[in-house]
Amino acid sequence: MPDPAGRWGCYVYGIVGADGAPQDVCHGVGDVQVEYVHSGPLAAVVSAFDLDREVSLRADLTAHTKVLDWLAARTTVVPMAFGTVTDDAAAVEETIIGPGGDVLLDLLQWLRGTSQFNLRGVYHRERVLGEVVRADPRLKELHERTRDLPQELPHPELISLGEGVSAALDRKKADDSERVLDAVAPFVVDLRDRVGGDMDQVMNVAMLVPETQRARVEETLEQIAAAEHERMRLQLTGPFPPYDFVEGMPWVS
């Protein structure tokens, strides 16, 4: 550990089972070697963190992600949020493993053999807006009446049209999203909505997928993507550590 005179904290990447701690070496935030704080059946994956060093978001985010990918490739891990730093190793036990031990063990058991995949669906806007307007005589009429109005002026009828299209699009997204997610539901352990996205986004979800079902999930989504490709794109990313599936600890703020 460099410069023992400096101010040091303990950067926490995640929690693993004590018997699952990898044997090989990995360097984390600040290029400091990763260590373990053992506590009964659990181990926290940590590295010394120089509190006075200059923060580099790019480097630190990359290092955080690298360590968690490294862990997830070798064992089951409960990832901590980016930027979790405690005073020292003792505080890791007092504030994380101690109060959360039972829940963490259950969580590790639940996550075993799974990975997170993120699924996004995005409409081809011109096609789906066409569907929406043609399906609703009122919107069709509003569209015809307002199409030549200057866009700079927020004419009330323009707002009505936008409101109607927005609501119809929301219903369409709910239907399409349900259809896609129902198809993969038999092969996933859990689903979580992810927030964000613009007007064309149909869905943005995290899926917890058992290793044994991964091929089925991909095949199912490929079939849907092929059938729907003129209306929407489906984008699957992963495997990731289960970032979206570790909330709900009793002591979470």
Partner 1 sequence: MTQQAMQRRGGGYLERPKPSGLADVVEVILDKGLVIDAYVRVSLVGIELLTIDARIVVASVDTYLRFAEATNRLDLYAEGGKDLSEFIGDLQEKGASKKTSGVISGAKKAITGGDDDDDDGGRPARKSSARKSSARRRQTDDA
- Residues 180-209 close enough to bind partner 1 by CB under 8 A: 181-182, 185, 190-199, 201, 204
Note the residue count of the chain.
Answer: 253
d(CA 103, CA 42): 11
Output the smallest distance, CB 189 to partner 1, in A. 10
The residue behind tokens 């896609």 is: 180
Find all residues with CB under 8 Å of 57, minimum gap 6, and list them: none
d(CA 93, CA 101): 9
Of 8-67, binders to partner 1 (CB under 8 A) are 9, 14-15, 55, 57-58, 60-62, 64-65
Q: Provide the 8-state DSSP code for 33.
A: B
Q: Which helix (H) or strand (E) holds 179?
A: helix 156-184
Nearer to partner 1, 37 or 143 (CB): 143
In the structure encoding, which two tokens stand for residue 106, read together? 């259950």
Nearer to partner 1, 1 or 199 (CB): 199
The residue behind tokens 């600890």 is: 249
Query: Which of residues 26, 82, 88, 183 is near partner 1 by CB under 8 A?
Result: 82
N- to C-terminal Cα distance for the chain? 31
Output the smallest distance, CB 129 to partner 1, in A. 5
The residue behind tokens 């004419």 is: 155
Output the smallest distance, CB 218 to partner 1, in A. 7
Site string for partner 1, 129-168 (x = CB under 8 A): xx-xxx----xx--x--xx-x-x--x---xx-xxx-xx--
Of 221-250, binders to partner 1 (CB under 8 A) are 221-222, 225-226, 229-230, 233-237, 240, 243-244, 246-249
213: contact with partner 1 by CB under 8 A: no
